[in-house]
Amino acid sequence: MRCLVLSLGLVFLLSAVVPAAAASPVDFTGEWALDLEKSDQGEGFGGRRSMLALKMIVEQKDNALKVEAFRRNRDGEEMSMVSDYTLDGKECRNESGNR
């Protein structure tokens, strides 16, 4: 489930800049934070908004993208998951802690 949420977030993030990619290279490196006040996430995933990544640390080097996403579990403890992607269109496989 976490992997799905993070993957959807990453797809949204990448799809927002695809038209601009032809104009100039884009580097997503940095720390990204979800602003809950400005975000309408609805009640998806059975009303479990805790599945949302509240913060992501992104490292982009050449054709590689590494994303460490942080969220809080039911007990309020911070958890993280690291995913690696390539930017050449090849399939990437990342295992979730739930599998």
Report the distance separating Cα 28 and Cα 32, nearest Å.
9
- pLDDT tens for 46-94 read 555 556 788 999 999 989 999 999 988 888 889 999 999 999 999 999 9
Task: Show me where the domains of the chain are located.
Answer: 1-21+28-37+51-99
Of 3-17, 32-46, 63-77, give the range with the top mean pLDDT. Answer: 63-77
Mean pLDDT for the chain? 78
What percent of the chain is predicted at pLDDT more than 90? 36
Strand order in the sheet with 30-33: 30-33, 55-61, 64-72, 78-86
Q: What is the pTM of this model?
A: 0.63
Q: How confident is the model at residue 35, as a pLDDT?
A: 86
Kind plus residue range of the DSSP H or E element containing 11: helix 2-15
